[in-house]
Amino acid sequence: MKPFVEIVGWLAAALILVAYGLLSAGKLDGKSAVYHWMNVIGAVGFVVNSGYNGAIPSAALNVIWIGIGVFGLVRYRPRTE
């Protein structure tokens, strides 16, 4: 189980870093669903990794990060009239 959790953690880190890099490079908009999904999925991976490893402050931070990402998804979702 530990190797799986470590892989999840590294993939989560890569996903969040790529999201931030794409945002900084102007390739993603901070209001885009792709940006928010990358952050939510990355944060879920960090919760799995940090929770498994007993890093409760990191797990708690990433639960909040998930909430921020979900808020962004809801706030900036396309409106259908």
Range of the domain at 18: 2-75
Render pLDDT for 12-53 as a digit per residue (tens, 0 to 9).
999 999 999 999 999 999 999 999 999 999 999 999 999 999
pTM of the predicted structure, to 2 decimals: 0.89
The pLDDT score that the predictor gives to residue 80 is 73
23, part of any domain: yes
3 state SS of 81: coil
Nearest residue to 20 (alpha-carbon basis) of 33, 1, 5, 35: 35
54, part of any domain: yes
- Give how many domains the chain has, as a whole number: 1
81, part of any domain: no
Alpha carbons 68 and 61: distance in angstroms, whole number: 11
Give the mean pLDDT of the chain. Answer: 95
